[in-house]
Amino acid sequence: MKHGTTLLVLGLTGSLFFAAGCTPTTEPTRTDKLVQATATATAVPSPTPDVRVELVAALQRSQGAAHRYAVRGNLPEGQKVNGTGAFDPKKRRFQTTISVTGGKYPSAGSRIVIGNDSYSRPSDEKDWVHVDLKRVKPDDFFLRFDWADPTGLKAFTASIVSVDRVDPHTYTGRFDPTGKDTTSFLPVGAPSIVSIGVRLSPFTITTDDQGWVTSIKVELSPSDGPKLTLTTTMKDHGKSLKINAPARAGEAADFYYGK
């Protein structure tokens, strides 16, 4: 039995966001681009416990330490995503800049989050906008911020189904792109793709001599387009990061908070 999946690509507002649905009833809006993939029922392979546990431990350790990252990949309709960021979970500081090039609607922007204060700025604007995250609704996909998993690495880790060790620093395997409760976590570093019914997909992860995760590469295969390859690299694990609020920022209007 075959199941259709749909991926929608939405615009950039401080971070890239993709949404997915099984059967859209309307044509995509100006900021939406539709990609369809056909997924066949796939048997879930039995994981190798010791290798999977080892890899999960490395991923969790890497997420729990301050680090810098970069993300790149190809998107539907000839688009490409590139971004950089820094995350310090203990000091609750986060910074990212993401750009989408190609296609009909290229976009780019930056976001800084310190505690409950979020600052966003499109690349073609000089002014930052401050948003009080305590006032943002939990279901606001564009403004909300999840300190537990801002890069999507935690959700990706939970989605891993099978793991093989290729060499002391390389792991391959398969993961479930649907994730738990259709949580967006791809690409890691710019969590933005929500997929429903997509078959298990391959990944390759590398680590360094200290056991830090240095690269995460995943692949998705739409039925009506080229394969999507998304790669996230990580570095400077455990090092001090300088992430400061903008010197000046305007306050978001009340309508940002649904008022």
pLDDT tens string, the chain, 259 residues long: the values are: 444 433 333 333 333 332 222 222 333 333 333 333 333 344 555 555 589 999 999 999 999 999 999 999 987 778 899 999 999 999 999 999 999 899 888 989 999 999 999 999 999 999 999 999 999 988 888 889 999 999 999 999 999 999 999 999 999 999 998 877 666 888 999 887 767 667 899 999 999 999 999 999 999 987 777 889 999 999 999 999 999 999 999 999 988 887 6
Give the contacts of 46 (CB within 8 A, at least 6 positions apart). Answer: 162
Claim: this prediction has a pTM higher than 0.75:
yes
Host H or E run for residue 60: helix 49-64
Class of domain 2-239: mainly beta
- DSSP classification of residue 134: G
Q: DSSP state, 217?
A: E
- Token digits for 73? 């990949």
User: What are the domain boundaries of the chain?
Assistant: 2-239
First to last CA, the chain: 45
